[in-house]
Amino acid sequence: MEYLPQHLQQFPPSARKAVLLLFAGWLILLVSLYTYFLPGYDLIRFVIIGVLMCFFTYQAYPWARVLCLVGDAMVIVYFSLIATQLFRVGRLTGALIASVIVIVFAASGWFLFVRESANFFKTFRSSTDDAQDAGGNGR
C-alpha cells in the first residue's frame, strides 16, 4: 500500500478501512449537504466536526473511535429517516444520496466496531508514546 501515508500503513486492515470510509463518508456528506440538501446554508459547523473527527481518528486516539461510533450511529439514523421520507415522496435522487451516506457510515462504523480495530485503538497510542519516550528524549 505504497500510496497510503506511512502512519496509515501501520493500521490493521479493518482500522485502515474504517478511517478511509470515515474520510469518504464525511466528504460525501459535506458535498451532498452543500449541493443537494442544504444549498446556501452555512456548513462551517459540519466541516469543523468532520475534520476533527477524521483527524483524531487518524491519530488513533481511543476515545475518537467511540466518538466516531456514536457519530456514525447518529448520521445513520438521521439519513435513514431522510432516505425513507424521500423515497415515499418520490424524490429518488435525494433518497439515493441519503442511502449512500447511510451505507458508507455504516461500513465505517462496522470496521471501527470489529475486535481488531478495537484492540488497535486501545494499544496504538500507548505503544507509540512509549517508543517515542524510549528513543526520543535521551535526557
pLDDT of res. 125: 78
pLDDT of res. 139: 41
Q: Where are the domains of the chain?
A: 11-130
pLDDT of res. 132: 59
pLDDT tens digits, one per residue of 97-110: 999 999 999 999 99
Residues 6+ apart with CB under 8 A from 112: 15, 18, 22, 65, 68, 69, 72, 118
Report DSSP letters for 37-80, one per residue: ISTT---HHHHHHHHHHHHHHHTT-HHHHHHHHHHHHHHHHHHH
pLDDT tens digits, one per residue of 48-96: 999 999 999 999 999 999 999 999 999 999 999 999 999 999 999 999 9
pLDDT tens digits, one per residue of 1-57: 566 677 788 899 999 999 999 999 999 999 999 999 888 888 899 999 999 999 999
Is the pLDDT score of 138 beyond 50? Answer: no
pLDDT tens digits, one per residue of 108-128: 999 999 999 999 999 987 766
Q: Report CA-CA distances (Å) from 111 to 59, 106, 121.
A: 16, 9, 12
pLDDT of res. 6: 79
Q: At CB < 8 A and 24+ separation, what contacts does 60-69 make? A: 60/11, 60/15, 60/120, 60/121, 60/124, 60/125, 61/121, 61/125, 62/121, 62/122, 62/125, 64/121, 65/112, 65/117, 65/118, 65/121, 68/18, 68/22, 68/108, 68/109, 68/112, 69/109, 69/112, 69/113
pLDDT of res. 28: 96
Coil/strand/helix, residue 139: coil
